[in-house]
Amino acid sequence: MKADKKILLEEKLNSMRVYEEELYGRGVCYVAGVDEVGRGPLAGPVVAVALVLPTDFSVLGIDDSKKLSEKKRKELYGIIIEQALAYGMGVVSNEEIDEINILEATKKAMQEAVLEANQNLMKSRGKNIEHVLIDALKLESVNLPQTFIVKGDEKSISIAAASIVAKVTRDNMMDEFHKKYPHYSFDKNKGYGTKAHYEGISEHGICEIHRKSFLKKIL
C-alpha cells in the first residue's frame, strides 16, 4: 500500500471512531453499530445488522458499504466477522414489508438485530450492549441508550462495519433468489429497479419476492 493512501485511510479511520471513542472515554465499552440494507429495492427482504466491535478495532478501509467494491466488501466482511465481539441480524420479508410498510419493517429488522447481538454478547462475554449507534433512525422499542446519526455509515466505524455485513449478507440472498427467479437479473441489481428488472416484470410478471406495495403503479 502506498504511503499516501495509507495516511488517507488512517485519517478516515480516526474520523470514523469519534462517536465510539467518546463513549469509550465515558467507560462505555460495549457499543453496537446498527445499519440496514434493502429499503429501496422492488424485491427481496430488508436486512439489518447490529455489531459490537472491540475497543481497539482499527481495520483500514472500513467505510459506507455503498462506497466499496464488491470485492472489498467481501474481504472486509470476513475480517469484521472474525474480530467482532458479537453481532446479530434481522431479516424482514417482502410480504411483511407490504403489510407494515418499509419504515416499520426496517425498525423491526433493526430491533431483531440488536436483540440477537445482545444475546450473543451475553453468551460470549457475559455482558449487555451499553449503547447503540444507529444510522438515521431511533428505535423506540429498544430500551437502550441510543445515538442516531444522519449518514452514520459514513461517520461511525461500528455503523459502517454493520453496513458491510448487512450488504454482503443481503447480496448473497439475492444471488440465491436469482437462481430461482432468473428473469429479473437479481444477481446484478439485487432487487433494485433497473431497466433489466423492469423488463423482466413486463415479460414475466412479478414473482414471490416482489414487494407489491412498491409496484402499485404497474400492477
CATH number at residue 121: 3.30.420.10
Q: Looking at the domain assignment, is residue 96 inside a domain?
A: yes
Closest CA to 44 of 168, 148, 177: 177
Instruction: Tell me the residue type at 157.
Output: I
158-196 in b/e form (b: 16+ CB < 10 A) is bbbbbbbbbbbbbbebbeebbeebeebbbeebbbbeeee
Closest CA to 134 of 156, 108, 167: 156
Q: What is the pTM of this model?
A: 0.96
* DSSP states of 179-219: HH-GGG-HHHHTTS--HHHHHHHHHH---TTB-GGG-TTT-
Q: Looking at the domain assignment, is residue 94 inside a domain?
A: yes
| Domains held by the chain: number | 1
Output the tens digit of pLDDT for each of the chain's 219 residues. 677 888 898 999 999 999 999 999 999 999 999 999 999 999 999 999 999 999 999 999 999 999 999 999 999 999 999 999 999 999 999 999 999 999 999 999 999 999 999 999 999 999 999 999 998 888 999 999 999 999 999 999 999 999 999 999 999 999 999 999 999 999 999 999 999 999 999 999 999 999 999 998 776
95-123 in b/e form (b: 16+ CB < 10 A) is ebbbeeebeebbbbbbbbbbbbbbebbee
Q: Looking at the domain assignment, is residue 31 inside a domain?
A: yes
Q: Looking at the domain assignment, is residue 18 inside a domain?
A: yes
Q: Looking at the domain assignment, is residue 57 inside a domain?
A: yes
- Angstrom distance (rounded) from CA 152 to CA 19: 10
Q: Looking at the domain assignment, is residue 53 inside a domain?
A: yes
| pLDDT digit string, tens, across residues 85-119 | 999 999 999 999 999 999 999 999 999 999 999 99
* Residue ranges making up the domain that contains 38: 3-169
| pLDDT digit string, tens, across residues 168-182 | 999 999 999 999 999
Q: Looking at the domain assignment, is residue 63 inside a domain?
A: yes
